[in-house]
Amino acid sequence: MKNYVILISGRGSNMQALLDARLPGTCSAVISNRPDAAGLAWAAARGVPTAVVDHKAFASREEFDTALTAEIERRGADLVLLAGFMRVLGEAFVRRFEGRLVNIHPSLLPAFPGLHTHEAALQTGVRVHGCTVHFVTPALDCGPIIVQAVVPVLADDTADLLGARVLAQEHLVYRQAAQGILEGRCRLEAGRVIWTSDTTTGAAVLRVPAGA
Q: Which domain holds residue 52?
A: 1-97
Global confidence as pTM = 0.94
**Cβ atoms 144, 134 nearer than 8 A:** yes
pLDDT tens for 100-151 read: 999 999 999 999 999 999 999 999 999 999 999 999 999 999 999 999 999 9
Whether residues 63 and 116 share a domain: the answer is no
Q: Which helix (H) or strand (E) holds 94?
A: helix 91-96
- pLDDT at position 206 is 84
Are both 118 and 196 inside the same structural domain? yes
Q: Do 83 and 170 sit in the same domain of this protein?
A: no
Return the DSSP state at 154.
P
Q: Which of 46, 65, 97 is the last residue of a domain?
A: 97
Q: Are residues 210 and 108 in the same domain?
A: yes
The tally of domains found in the chain comes to 2
Tell me if 41 sits within 8 A of 65, measured CB to CB: no
Same domain for 127 and 50, yes or no, is no
Q: The domain spanning residue 38 has which CATH number?
A: 3.40.50.170
* CB-based contact 28:77 (threshold 8 Å): yes
Q: Tens of pLDDT along 161-178?
A: 999 999 999 999 999 999
- For the CA atoms of 170, 173, 178, 183, the dihedral, rounded to the nearest 10 degrees, stands at 170
The set of catalytic residues is 105
